[in-house]
């Protein structure tokens, strides 16, 4: 029997994507987002490490490399909890579909890969709500590395796991760190019964599978109140020439 | 601190089992005179040849500014603020407290996890959860709880701190604008929480309704018994 997080009693739906860097999860979530908007659903979006107040502390800690596995974990928990209380729960209460790019499973995988106790990390995040759907984009390490490392981008200190001292070369360190995270994800997939998508398939195929899983959960989900601008344009044969000057119609952008 | 012990899980990546210094906590509610006593203790200890480091809640390089900013805007929930305080403590433990203990210093800390626990419990947090989150905290060598009652605290807050603080009055929590009434209600609850956890964590109570001098005399005698054996220790790390 798979483990669950705290049960949600809200009318909205929470859909999350997980996976290592280079798994293509954000691309797939973005495609899902656009589809839901085109279907006129009320969608809210929440991204890992984006709480306005907390993120500044995290940024500072990353810049001067003062974060340890412990403080790294705690500051991300503060960030998550702030977004949970301020963005995710209110939107779910209102009946929206909430899309989250990374959720608590990211912390369970990363923090444990950094040496935190699995049990402790799960306790820290015990206020998290069970998502309606949690997708895990499974990709072999070599494939994700190929996608990320093509062009030899500059890897950031914590991104490469250099704080762990696994290797002094950022690329070597990144590989070792990602492989640890991947291992943790594989455990989580069973523990929390994540919906696995084979992320080596063509993008369009992954999106088809994702939509097929999501579709049955959309019944009764709240639609955007004012209707879409697209409807008016179509029905009234307008071009929307001046819409670009105002903010309406940009809800879909991050 | 002879043997390194934690309330819960050990700090990740930290394997030492022995630290030659001593960790001494001074706890107590607002206006009880913690910082005064710590300043006196530090000077007294240094006069006796002990190297001293002092720290306190919200003094980490990492989280201090963020917490102050958040408090100004009053935008963060109790849970998030608690997690930021936990981050602040983690940072200070790893970058200040443990290095000082490793070097054989006496570390005096103005409040520790107990104020965080009391504060969170007043605000209705799950007692089990806050203890689990704070499980990385080192168990100190001694916790001195300066205990005073409200009639003694109020004049001190008025004369020395220039009035009632928004946060120490729990005005974030009670919402009413009467700071004095809030202060009385909030501190009463806080004192009850301190009382409730005193035994769990083994507080040594110092009766703080007395004069600064009387409190200090008792405190330095108690601290003396903790630090004196350090003079008989052999070199660092043995």
Stated pTM of the model: 0.86
Largest CA distance in chain B: 57
Q: What CATH superfamily classification does B2-224 receive?
A: P-loop containing nucleotide triphosphate hydrolases (3.40.50.300)
Cα torsion at B179, B185, B188, B192 (round to 10°)?
-130
HEC readout, B13-44: CCCCCEECCEEEEEECCCCCCHHHHHHHHHHH
User: What residues of A are in contact with residue B87 (Cβ under 8 Å)?
Assistant: 57, 71, 74-75, 78
pLDDT of amino acid B21: 96
Q: At what angle do helices B179-201 and B113-122 cross, to 10 degrees?
A: 120
Domain ranges of chain A: 13-245
CB atoms within 10 A of CB B204: 14
Nearest CA in chain B to A113: B12
Q: Which of A72-76, B87-91, B175-179 comes out lowest in average pLDDT? A: B175-179
The CATH class of A13-245 is alpha beta
Neighbouring residues of B76: CB distance < 8 A, sequence distance ≥ 6: A53, A82, B70, B84
> Would an 8 Å CB–CB cutoff place B127 in contact with chain A?
no
CA distances from A125 to A80, A83, B20, B188 (A): 9, 13, 34, 31
pLDDT given at position B74: 63
Check residues B19 and B15 and name the one with the higher pLDDT. Answer: B19
Burial of A152 from C-beta contacts in 10 A (0-12 / 13-18 / 19+): exposed
- Give strand pairing partners of B206: B146
Residue B115 CB contacts under 8 Å (≥ 6 apart), including other chains: B27, B57
What is the per-residue pLDDT for B93?
Answer: 95
Quote the DSSP letter at residue A245: G
Of A85, A114, A123, the CB nearest to B77: A85
* pLDDT (tens digit per residue) in B119-150: 999 999 999 999 999 999 999 999 999 999 99
Contacts of A65 in chain B (CB under 8 A): none
Query: Helix A52-63 and helix B64-73: axis angle, to 10°?
Result: 170
**8 Å CB contact between B123 and B173:** yes
User: What was the pLDDT predicted at B216?
Assistant: 96
Q: What is the mean pLDDT of residues B8-18?
A: 91
| Nearest CB neighbour to B83, from listed A56, A66, A78 | A78
Torsion of CA B22, B23, B29, B32, to 10 degrees: 30
pLDDT at A243: 82
What are the start-end ranges of the H helices in chain B?
Answer: 34-47, 64-73, 78-92, 98-102, 113-122, 127-133, 150-160, 171-174, 179-201, 212-227
Please report, in tens digits, the pLDDT of each residue of chain A (254 residues total): 678 899 988 889 999 999 999 999 999 999 999 999 988 899 999 999 998 888 888 998 999 899 999 999 999 999 999 999 999 999 999 889 999 999 999 999 999 999 999 999 999 999 999 999 999 999 999 999 999 888 778 889 999 999 999 999 999 999 999 999 999 999 999 999 999 999 999 999 999 999 999 999 998 788 876 666 777 888 888 888 888 777 544 444 43
Domain ranges of chain B: 2-224
pLDDT of residue A73: 97
Residue B161, CA distances (Å) to A175, B33, B36, B154, B168 in order: 55, 11, 13, 10, 11
In the structure, what pLDDT confidence band is assigned to residue B238 with cuts at 50, 70 and 90?
A: very low
Prediction ipTM score? 0.84
**Cβ <8 Å between B91 and A71:** yes
């Amino acid at each position: 029997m798979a483990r669950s997080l705290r049960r949600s009693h809200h009318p909205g739906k929470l859909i999350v994507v997980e996976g290592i860097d280079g798994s293509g999860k954000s691309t797939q979530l973005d495609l899902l987002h656009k589809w839901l908007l085109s279907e006129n659903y009320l969608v809210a979006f929440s991204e890992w490490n984006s709480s306005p107040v907390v993120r500044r502390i995290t940024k500072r800690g990353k810049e001067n490399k003062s974060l340890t596995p412990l403080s790294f974990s705690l500051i991300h928990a503060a960030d998550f909890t702030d977004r949970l209380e301020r963005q995710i729960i209110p939107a779910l209460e209102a009946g929206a579909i909430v899309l989250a790019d990374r959720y608590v499973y990211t912390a369970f995988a990363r923090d444990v890969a950094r040496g935190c106790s699995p049990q402790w990390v799960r306790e820290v995040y015990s206020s998290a709500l069970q998502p309606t759907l949690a997708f895990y984009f499974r990709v072999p390490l070599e494939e994700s590395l190929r996608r990320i490392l093509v062009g030899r981008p500059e890897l950031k200190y914590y991104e490469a796991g250099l704080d762990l001292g696994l290797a002094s070369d950022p690329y070597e360190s990144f590989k070792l760190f990602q492989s640890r995270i991947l291992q943790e994800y594989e455990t989580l997939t069973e523990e929390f019964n994540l919906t696995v998508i084979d992320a080596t398939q063509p993008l369009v195929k992954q999106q088809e599978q994702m939509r097929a899983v999501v579709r049955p959960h959309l019944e009764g989900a709240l639609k955007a109140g004012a209707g879409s601008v697209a409807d008016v344009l179509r029905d009234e044969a307008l071009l929307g020439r001046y819409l670009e000057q105002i903010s309406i119609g940009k809800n879909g952008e991050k | 601190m002879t043997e390194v012990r934690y309330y819960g899980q050990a700090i990740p990546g930290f394997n030492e089992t022995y630290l030659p210094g001593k960790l001494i906590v001074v706890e107590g509610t607002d206006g009880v005179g913690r910082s005064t006593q710590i300043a006196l203790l530090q000077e007294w200890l240094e006069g006796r040849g002990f190297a001293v480091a002092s720290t306190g809640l919200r003094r980490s390089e990492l989280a201090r500014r963020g917490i102050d900013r958040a408090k100004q805007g009053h935008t963060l929930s109790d849970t998030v603020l608690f997690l930021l305080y936990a981050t602040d403590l983690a940072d200070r433990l790893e970058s200040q407290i443990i290095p000082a203990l490793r070097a054989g210093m006496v570390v005096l800390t103005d409040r520790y996890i107990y104020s965080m626990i009391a504060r969170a419990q007043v605000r209705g947090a799950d007692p089990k959860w806050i203890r689990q989150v704070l499980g990385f905290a080192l168990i100190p060598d001694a916790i001195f709880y300066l205990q005073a009652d409200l009639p003694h605290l109020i004049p001190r807050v008025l004369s020395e701190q220039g009035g009632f603080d928004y946060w120490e009055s729990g005005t974030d929590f009670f919402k009413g604008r009467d700071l004095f009434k809030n202060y009385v209600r909030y501190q009463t609850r806080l004192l009850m929480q301190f009382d409730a956890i005193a035994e769990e964590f083994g507080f040594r109570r110092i009766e703080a309704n007395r004069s600064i001098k009387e409190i200090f005399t008792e405190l330095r005698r108690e601290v003396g018994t903790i630090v004196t054996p350090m003079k008989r220790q052999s070199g660092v790390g043995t």
